[in-house]
């Protein structure tokens, strides 16, 4: 395939969100906004115990309540064929069996859906759900990582084996060493939009589902597998998705429950999770305990790095993330070893949450690097630059591109690092102590597979289609920008259609890969369309471009032009007109090549924080944030800037507020609502300077753009914790850093 240079053209560079008007005016339809004729409403009843068996469910009162159409529980639930034959409706991350809704009397976690009431109105369904009475045989449960550390075990599979490079635990023999333990509590995704599913069957073997999902194709596949349906008979729509952060990466049991309910009563059913159900039914970032040991020579050369982590999973699935992986690749250190274990607890399965693994690991590693810098009396930036990994130390391969040193420099300048008095507890602003802190991070910059269909219409406008969902980053906007640049057409004449499983297969939106994966397919389909147009115009008798060769043609500003004689040109619309065509279609499948065997492809970011800590109350006020990303070529500075800002906001939450509190006596969440589970609001978020190196990666894809969503918060919480230490001299190693931890 001919490659056309992507220059990140002017037209796409700061394109406003193509769907921005729909979003801010309320015209955008989210999953729960789809009101189908004859719609009914399902409400889930949850287990109040964390482990045991259902002894009895009394549904009679609920069934007799006004408007109730059905009450479904394990005793009467229709068979789910994919469950019975071992199908896998909600693919588990690594091992085990996904929770099978309404299939037996087992209780695996508190908040588990045990029954479902379907009624003609939402209010009647809520009321009837309160009438379902359940008796349990309760068993002793365990929900605490801290109380069960002795039960931690290596996850199955070679990739979780203990890692050793050089000598294990070498830090213990170093001239200068630190050792510290760090804790991050459970965090929940809780995007603004609640998870919601509306399902409507058409006969016995065809269903349409409106779902909040980060992957219309993966949800379609899950429903196909569970109900044994053909691909063309499962239609999944997600026109708009109001945030996800990872909670929309799996097809959760409530989705299967909604499809089951609609089948049972043969009417459309809508099921919207409550805010409290969002804490137990769609995953969470697992609790983690981490220990880091660092050793260095007196002048700051790392000689040993040990990273241990213990995290949690459910008893029915093995969830893992890459908590310790960042310590293997972040710094050039000859002796590195990591150990990662998980504990199976009576809780629902955790799942990936923004920066999964790396955000957790970077918090510990980047705090530890800060601790080491003080032990060495060395500037934390200098320490990092001194131990910069010039090649990938795990695979011993060159980086495809790496501008991490430039990130340090650019960020330090923007935050005013040189104004920092390096001594802790030394800077003040009235009653407030002043601190500066920084932390860095990386994330694998992957590229998957996608198919995009391009249709050039008679009027010269372009329609692009792919079955991807946009959980918020602005995918249609970014893709429009890429198409505008590559195809040579004003963005206003381009439409990108997504959120529909019947479109050509697109990727699941996760792991910071959408722009790389889908953008490459957009690039390739635009090039292929150029070729097709060239074939038509150069073989058209009488055309000014007749007999010209493809390489002699230039495609820009809606014209095909002869490079050697720009007076010879044909408008895109004219190409179709000459041939009497109403449209011209090309579909292109695109995926990565073998560049990953030759290079290590990562994105990098450095975060800087300036904050105040109030002396008497311990209140932390973040004054300024500078985040600098090496994410390759920036396609759209507005949407990319928003990605960084969103990551920073979630990082502020992680550092200062977010804490999923469990009462382990009952195995229940204490603060499963947004009044008690604190998130940053506008008043907590200062001016954020989102900066980019903006240099294309030569290898990852035709655009040169690397992933951005995850690195936006990998290392950010450490920057805050380090700034708090600099301000106060207090090293808080358990997140979140709430005022109570600073006044004692």
Binding site residues, ligand MOS, CB under 6 A: 214, 244-246, 249, 352-354, 356, 510-511
Comparing every residue's Cβ against ligand MOS, the nearest one is 246
Contact call for residues 510 and 214 (beta carbons, < 8 A): yes
Active site members: 710
In the complex, the smallest distance separating the C-beta of residue 274 from ligand MOS, rounded to whole angstroms, is 22
Tokens 């039914």 locate to 281
Q: For residues 630 and 565, give the distance between their C-alpha atoms in angstroms, rounded to a whole number.
A: 40
Q: For residues 352 and 189, give the distance between their C-alpha atoms in angstroms, rounded to a whole number.
A: 9
In the complex, the smallest distance separating the C-beta of residue 214 from ligand MOS, rounded to whole angstroms, is 6
DSSP state of 65: S
Contact call for residues 445 and 707 (beta carbons, < 8 A): yes
Tokens 């008095």 locate to 421
What would the two tokens of residue 561 be? Answer: 């032009």
Please name the residues in contact with 196: beta carbons below 8 A apart, sequence gap of 6 or more.
Answer: 30, 31, 32, 210, 211, 212, 270, 271, 272, 273
In the complex, the smallest distance separating the C-beta of residue 501 from ligand MOS, rounded to whole angstroms, is 19
Longest CA–CA separation in the chain, Å: 86
Bridge partners of 137, per DSSP, are 53
In the complex, the smallest distance separating the C-beta of residue 229 from ligand MOS, rounded to whole angstroms, is 26
What would the two tokens of residue 519 be? Answer: 């953008």
| Helix spans in 148-202 (H) | none
Q: For residues 182 and 534, give the distance between their C-alpha atoms in angstroms, rounded to a whole number.
A: 60
**How crowded is residue 21: how many other Cβ atoms within 10 Å of its Cβ?**
11
**3-state DSSP call for residue 419?**
helix
Give the nearer residue to ligand MOS in terms of CB position, either 8 or 246: 246
**How crowded is residue 594: how many other Cβ atoms within 10 Å of its Cβ?**
7
* φ, ψ of residue 452 in degrees (nearest 5): -130, 135
Q: For residues 206 and 505, give the distance between their C-alpha atoms in angstroms, rounded to a whole number.
A: 19
Burial 250-265 (b: 16+ CB within 10 A, else e): bbbbbbbbbbbbbbbe
DSSP of 662-721: EETTTTEES--STTTS----GGG--EEEEEE-----SSSSTT-BPP-TTTTTTTHHHHHH
What would the two tokens of residue 408 be? Answer: 């340090």
Give the nearer residue to ligand MOS in terms of CB position, either 214 or 251: 214
| Helix spans in 275-423 (H) | 325-329, 358-376, 380-386, 404-415
What would the two tokens of residue 17 be? Answer: 């969100």
Which segments within 59-215 are labelled E, that is strand? 68-73, 95-96, 106-107, 113-119, 133-138, 163-165, 176-184, 196-201, 207-211
In the complex, the smallest distance separating the C-beta of residue 467 from ligand MOS, rounded to whole angstroms, is 17
In the complex, the smallest distance separating the C-beta of residue 189 from ligand MOS, rounded to whole angstroms, is 8
């Amino acid at each position: 395939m001919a490659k056309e240079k992507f220059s990140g053209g002017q037209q796409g560079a700061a394109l406003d969100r193509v769907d921005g008007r729909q979003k801010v005016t309320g015209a955008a339809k989210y999953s729960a906004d789809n009101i189908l004729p004859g719609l009914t409403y399902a409400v889930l009843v949850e287990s109040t115990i964390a482990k045991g068996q259902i002894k009895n469910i009394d549904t009679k009162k609920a069934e007799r309540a006004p408007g109730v159409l059905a009450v479904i529980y394990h005793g009467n639930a229709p068979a789910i064929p994919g469950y019975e034959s071992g199908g896998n409706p909600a693919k588990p991350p690594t091992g085990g069996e996904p929770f099978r809704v309404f299939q037996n009397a087992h209780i695996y976690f508190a908040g588990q859906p045990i029954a479902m009431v379907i009624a003609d109105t939402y209010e009647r369904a809520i009321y009837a759900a309160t009438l379902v009475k359940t008796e349990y045989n309760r068993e002793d449960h365990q929900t605490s990582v801290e109380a069960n550390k002795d039960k931690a075990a290596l996850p199955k599979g070679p990739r979780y084996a203990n890692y050793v490079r050089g000598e294990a635990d070498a830090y213990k023999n170093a001239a200068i060493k630190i050792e510290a333990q760090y804790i991050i509590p459970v965090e929940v995704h809780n995007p603004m939009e609640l998870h919601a599913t509306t399902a409507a069957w058409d006969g016995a073997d065809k269903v349409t589902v409106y779902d909040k999902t980060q992957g219309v194709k993966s949800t379609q596949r899950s429903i196909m597998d569970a109900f044994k349906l053909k691909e063309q008979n499962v239609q999944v729509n997600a026109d708009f998705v109001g945030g996800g952060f990872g909670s929309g990466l799996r097809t959760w049991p409530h989705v299967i429950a909604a499809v089951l309910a609609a089948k049972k009563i043969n009417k459309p059913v809508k099921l919207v999770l409550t805010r409290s159900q969002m804490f137990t039914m769609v995953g969470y970032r697992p609790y983690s305990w981490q220990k880091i040991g660092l050793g260095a020579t007196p002048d700051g050369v790392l000689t040993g790095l040990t990273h241990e982590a213990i995290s949690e999973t459910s008893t029915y699935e093995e969830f893992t993330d890459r908590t310790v992986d960042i310590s293997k690749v972040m710094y050039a250190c000859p002796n590195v070893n990591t150990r990662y274990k998980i504990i199976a607890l009576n809780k629902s399965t955790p799942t990936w949450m923004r920066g999964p693994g790396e955000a957790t690991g970077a918090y510990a590693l980047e705090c530890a690097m800060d601790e080491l810098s003080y032990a060495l009396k060395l500037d934390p930036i200098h320490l990092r630059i001194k131990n910069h990994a010039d090649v990938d130390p795990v695979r011993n391969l060159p980086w495809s591109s790496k501008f991490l040193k430039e990130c340090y420099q650019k960020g330090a300048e923007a935050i005013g690092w040189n104004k920092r008095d390096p001594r802790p507890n030394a800077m003040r602003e009235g009653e407030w102590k002043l601190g500066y802190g920084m932390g860095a991070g990386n994330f694998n910059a992957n590229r998957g597979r996608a198919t995009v269909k391009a249709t050039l219409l008679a009027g010269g406008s372009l329609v692009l289609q792919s079955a991807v969902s946009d959980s918020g980053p602005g995918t249609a906007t970014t893709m429009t920008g890429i198409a505008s640049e590559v195809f040579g057409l004003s963005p206003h004449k381009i439409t990108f259609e997504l959120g529909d499983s019947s479109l050509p297969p697109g990727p699941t939106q996760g792991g910071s890969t959408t722009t790389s994966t889908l953008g490459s397919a957009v690039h390739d389909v635009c090039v292929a369309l150029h070729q097709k147009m060239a074939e038509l115009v150069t073989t058209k008798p009488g055309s000014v471009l007749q007999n010209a060769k493809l390489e002699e043609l230039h495609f820009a500003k809606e014209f095909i032009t002869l490079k050697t004689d720009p007076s010879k040109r044909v408008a895109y619309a004219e190409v179709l007109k000459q041939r009497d065509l109403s449209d011209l279609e090309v579909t292109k499948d695109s995926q990565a090549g073998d560049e990953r065997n030759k290079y290590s492809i990562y994105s990098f970011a450095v975060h800087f924080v300036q904050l105040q800590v109030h002396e008497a109350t311990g209140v932390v006020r973040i004054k300024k944030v500078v985040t600098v990303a090496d994410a390759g070529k920036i396609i759209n500075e507005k949407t990319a800037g928003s990605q960084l800002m969103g990551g920073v906001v979630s990082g502020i939450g992680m550092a200062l507020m977010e804490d999923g509190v469990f009462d382990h006596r009952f195995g229940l969440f204490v603060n499963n609502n947004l009044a008690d589970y604190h998130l940053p609001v506008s008043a907590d978020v200062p001016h954020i300077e989102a900066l980019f190196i903006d240099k294309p990666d030569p290898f990852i894809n035709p655009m040169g753009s690397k992933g951005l969503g995850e690195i936006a918060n990998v290392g950010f919480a450490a920057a805050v914790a380090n700034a708090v230490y600099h301000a106060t001299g207090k090293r808080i190693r358990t997140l979140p850093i709430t005022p109570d931890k600073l006044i004692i």
